[in-house]
Structure 1
Amino acid sequence: MSTPKNVLITGASRGIGRAIATRLTHDGYRVINLDKLEPPSLLKDEEFHQVDITDSNAVKTLLQEITHRAKVLRLVNNAGIIKPGALEDVSAADFDAVYALNLKAPMVLAQQMLPQMRQENFGRIVNIASRAALGKEERTAYAAMKAGLQGMTRTWALELAQYGITVNAIGPGPIATELFTSGNPPNAPKTIKIIESIPVKRMGQPEDIAHAAAYLIDDRSSFTTGQTLYVCGGMTVGLSNAS
């Protein structure tokens, strides 16, 4: 039996990250989960490290230990926070917090994993962005960081293509995570309005994002790089009834 391929995923204990981790273990990968929260239970091929990935020194120390004993050539930057608020209500502290987790941490993680990827002449980096990067009310900090993540995705793709490393992003639309559902009950008017705005007329599921991630980290996806794949039920196409 071949040795499972390792994939490091941030924020893989809940929500979209958990769905990605579950899918990838089913596909034969070994998941290394970096999260502040413990998962409900460990998956069959999961290694968990409790860490605050905004602590760059802690991340560097941990990644040195992990890559010293294991070959890790796949990275999914999933962890993130929102801190919603209208422009006049966005505090500098909230902006800095969203920056630290959503934009700086992915860069630090990629930097730490890059030497091993270059040495192997192979790598897969998948950044979980958001449809909010295109603009969304009360998302000044979040939209800015996700747009920045897409910019880094394109830049890294150009820099790293010569080393066999692909870098892509996924832009989820409305996804029915536990967090979303807790604030938006299925039959609530607000939820119904959201669903009606989605061309496919349903909420996305975490597994929809996991399926996209599985494609992008696959060995065979070597000709796809620098792209943002919007998994949004058609919302980024534009309003279907627009004149």
Structure 2
Amino acid sequence: MTEPRTAIVTGAARGIGAAVAQRLASDGFQIAVVDLDESSCAATVDAITSAGGTALAVGADVSNEEQVKAAIERIAAELGAPTVLVNNAGILRDNLLFKMTVEDWDLVMGVHLRGSFLMTKYAQKHMTEAGYGRIVNLSSTSALGNRGQANYSAAKAGLQGFTKTLAIELGKFGITANAIAPGFIQTDMTAATAERMKVPFDDFIKFSADQIPVQRVGQPEDIAHTASFLVSEGAGFVSGQVIYVAGGPKD
């Protein structure tokens, strides 16, 4: 990059989002660290700035159109027009179908699908004007179906179709769109799943690792490495793809 590009990472206060934000900062991007609560972004921003990078904490509910518009405008004004977007923000409201409430369905759809749509809708304007852009959406192996996650699985599958459509519509403007589908990644979110299942997290990790060909669970940095490639200059001929980062094949 001849001059620093601005990258937005949503859900970047912790977990995968924080790891992606820090990795892209080390790659030379200026990072907008977006999460629901601006103060929760402090640790990620501090990690980036202490390593010599540039980061801005931005509080926004990605499912709220006005908040998204305001966030994108602020990022463009304070860091520069964003040409990289990583839609990572997500929540869990797991339950078996007959126990799942309409509210829990709507909340998950709102953050994952509506949130990714809104962030992309308002960020792509800056990308099309620049004639360059990289969009990465976080899907999941749960897109293939997972007990107790009808809402989450549907949302993550939806993101794959969304990604492929973005690639078709935006390609002529120099914009690529790809999705990463993580398998088991050791984060607060998977810890919450273990708690819901009433299984000690260490046991949950060991059991999960035994089912994975590489015999370990993933770390947020595994996803960050993949995101780093997809947003790079060299990945310009990779678009509309879903990359499963799960320690083995998923199909």
Aligned to 1:222: 236
The CA RMSD measured in Å over matched residues stands at 1.7
Aligned to 1:4: 4
- Give yes or no for contact 1:124–1:216 (8 Å, CA) kept in 2: yes
Q: CA deviation at 1:50?
A: 1.5
Aligned to 2:150: 140
Aligned to 1:108: 118
Aligned to 1:48: 57
Q: CA deviation at 1:8?
A: 0.4
Aligned to 2:167: 157
TM-score, structure 2 as length reference: 0.89
SS at match of 2:32: strand
Query: CA separation in 2, counterparts of 1:20 and 1:139?
Result: 25
Query: CA separation in 2, counterparts of 1:140 and 1:7?
Result: 31
Query: CA separation in 2, counterparts of 1:194 and 1:10?
Result: 27
Aligned to 1:21: 21
Aligned to 2:41: 39
Render the CA deviation track for 1:89-143: whole Å, top value 9, x for unaligned: 1111011000110000111111101121111111000000000001111110000
SS at match of 2:235: coil
Moved more, 57-66 or 1-10: 1-10
Q: CA deviation at 1:181?
A: 4.2
Moved more, 64-73 or 209-218: 64-73
Identity within the alignment, %: 37
- Give yes or no for contact 1:173–1:235 (8 Å, CA) kept in 2: no
- Give yes or no for contact 2:42–2:57 (8 Å, CA) kept in 1: no
Aligned to 1:57: 66
Q: CA deviation at 1:28?
A: 1.2
Task: Provide closer, same or farther for how the CA distance between residues 78 and 187 of structure 1 changes in structure 2, counting only shifts above 3 A.
Answer: closer
Q: CA deviation at 1:177?
A: 1.3
Q: Which of 92, 108, 114 is the equivalent residue of 1:98?
A: 108
TM-score, structure 1 as length reference: 0.92
- Give yes or no for contact 1:7–1:30 (8 Å, CA) kept in 2: yes
- Give yes or no for contact 1:123–1:166 (8 Å, CA) kept in 2: yes
> Unaligned regions of 5+ residues in structure 1, if any?
238-243
Higher helix share: 2
Query: CA separation in 1, counterparts of 2:121 and 2:12?
Result: 20
Query: CA separation in 1, counterparts of 2:187 and 2:172?
Result: 37
Query: CA separation in 2, counterparts of 1:213 and 1:52?
Result: 23
Q: How many residue pairs end up in the alignment? A: 236
Amino acid corresponding to residue 120 of structure 1 in structure 2: A
Correspondence 1:76-225 to 2 at 5 A: 76-181=86-191, 183=194, 185=200, 187-188=202-203, 190-225=204-239
Q: CA deviation at 1:61?
A: 2.1
- Give yes or no for contact 1:154–1:168 (8 Å, CA) kept in 2: yes
- Give yes or no for contact 1:198–1:235 (8 Å, CA) kept in 2: no
Aligned to 1:240: none
Amino acid corresponding to residue 236 of structure 2 in structure 1: S
